[in-house]
Amino acid sequence: MACEFCGLSEEEKKWLLTETKHWVIYLADVQDYLGRSIIVSKRHCESLSELTTDEWQDLQVVIKSFEKMLKNEMSATMFNWSCLMNDAYKQKEPCPHVHFHVRPRYEAPISVGEMTYVDEDFAHHYNNQAKSKVMSEVVGQVFARLKGNISNYFEVI
Amino acid sequence: MACEFCGLSEEEKKWLLTETKHWVIYLADVQDYLGRSIIVSKRHCESLSELTTDEWQDLQVVIKSFEKMLKNEMSATMFNWSCLMNDAYKQKEPCPHVHFHVRPRYEAPISVGEMTYVDEDFAHHYNNQAKSKVMSEVVGQVFARLKGNISNYFEVI
């Protein structure tokens, strides 16, 4: 059994934004939704039901801090949160590891560097199909903006 | 502003499975995923960030109880949880109300009454497109099975 999150390479940790006592926040490498991130449990835990009370309480702080940061720094309007873990079940011996996807959503166009981002599906279910790779080019810019202000939202541990 | 959850009609509450101190659980009327349910905050709360600590702690109990019930009573394999709230932003003056969608997912075929249900997308992202209405016909049977055993999983309040 191979857990996709317990053995992340240094390259895969490239966009690590911050960590709390129980969670690590990575900016997703495909920025189809600006600020799209993945919140991963530090402990190998296979379902939401198995999270401890302490992990669950810490998650609430992470959600509040993340939403506040993305509203302030990126002008996000609202957020789509999901905990799916389907990919793990593609393996013969599934080894799921609790993680959340968060997609900030934007009512108005947003400027990032020289480009303007428009959330074309706003107010509709996120588009789960891979889009143009254009947005991957801005991941460094989004990362720098969030990482540079991270201490205003998350305690340094 | 009209909140779609604060003013539910008696007809819309038809498939109410149970309630806890802070949450109400409804079986979804379209059973495209067997046991698909909606968990709604009792208080009008507009984002995850605004949930109180008490509401968040109660939600953890709801998740554990729901997953246990669906594993025991329906043989669910795992679960897709999401908190999206996109529909509220289709209105000119959005009035979001925190709720979660939960779609139980099934590795093996499941018998419900005289039909056999197969989760054709298992291990893949749930299909957000409306499917055949066939599954709506079993909502009464699924509701009866869960409601009949609800006190084994949720405290009566």
H, E, C per residue of B103-133: EEECCCCEEECCEEECCCCCCCCCCCCCCCH
**Helices B53-74 and B139-148, axial angle in degrees (round to 10):** 110
* Buried b or exposed e, range A68-88, using 16+ CB within 10 angstroms: ebbbebbbbbbbbbbbbbbeb
Mutate to test the interface with B, among A47, A97, A103 (most CBs of B within 10 A): A47
Tokens for A119? 């959330």
Residue linked to tokens 């009866």: B144
Which CA distances in Å does B85 have to A104, A120, B46? 12, 16, 9
Verify whether the Cβ–Cβ distance B89 to A107 is below 8 Å: yes
Indicate the residue type of B152. Answer: N
Greatest mean pLDDT range, A122-131, A138-147, B14-23: B14-23
DSSP SS3 for B73:
helix
Least Cα separation, residue B89 to chain A (angstroms): 5
Verify whether the Cβ–Cβ distance B85 to A78 is below 8 Å: yes
Q: Is residue B52 within 8 angstroms of chain A, CB to CB?
A: no
Verify whether the Cβ–Cβ distance B80 to A79 is below 8 Å: no
Least Cα separation, residue A131 to chain B (angstroms): 16
**pLDDT tens figures, A92-110:** 999 999 999 999 999 999 9
B124 contact residues in A (CB cutoff 8 A):
86
Q: What is the DSSP string of A76-109?
A: --EEEEEE---GGGGSSS-----EEEEEEE-SS-
Q: Which residues pair with A112 in a beta bridge?
A: A115
Please report the ipTM that was assigned to this predicted complex. 0.96
Q: Looking at residue A131, what is its pLDDT? A: 63
Q: Which residues pair with B16 in a beta bridge?
A: B26
**pLDDT tens figures, A23-60:** 999 999 888 899 999 999 999 999 999 999 999 999 99
- Mark which residues 89-108 of B lie under 8 Å from A by CB: 89-90, 94, 96, 105, 107
Least Cα separation, residue B79 to chain A (angstroms): 7
Q: Looking at residue A130, what is its pLDDT? A: 58
In angstroms, the CA B49 to CA B94 distance is: 17
Residue linked to tokens 């013969």: A92
Verify whether the Cβ–Cβ distance A124 to B86 is below 8 Å: yes
Q: What are phi and psi of A16, to 5 degrees?
A: -70, 120
Least Cα separation, residue A85 to chain B (angstroms): 7
Verify whether the Cβ–Cβ distance B89 to A122 is below 8 Å: yes
B83 contact residues in A (CB cutoff 8 A):
80-82
In angstroms, the CA B109 to CA A25 distance is: 36
Tokens for A38? 């993945």
**pLDDT tens figures, B32-81:** 899 999 999 999 999 999 999 999 999 999 999 999 999 999 999 999 99
Least Cα separation, residue B31 to chain A (angstroms): 18
Spatial CA neighbour of B3 closest among B124, B131, B133, B99: B99
Verify whether the Cβ–Cβ distance A81 to B48 is below 8 Å: yes
DSSP SS3 for B26:
strand
Task: Tally the residues of chain B.
Answer: 157
Q: Looking at residue A129, what is its pLDDT? A: 77
Q: What's the mean pLDDT in B6-20?
A: 94
Name the residue among B85, B87, B122 with its Cβ closest to that of A89.
Answer: B122
In angstroms, the CA B120 to CA B115 distance is: 15
**pLDDT tens figures, B26-35:** 999 888 899 9
A125 contact residues in B (CB cutoff 8 A):
84, 86, 128
8-state DSSP, A37: E
pTM of the model: 0.96
Q: Is residue A64 within 8 angstroms of chain B, CB to CB?
A: yes
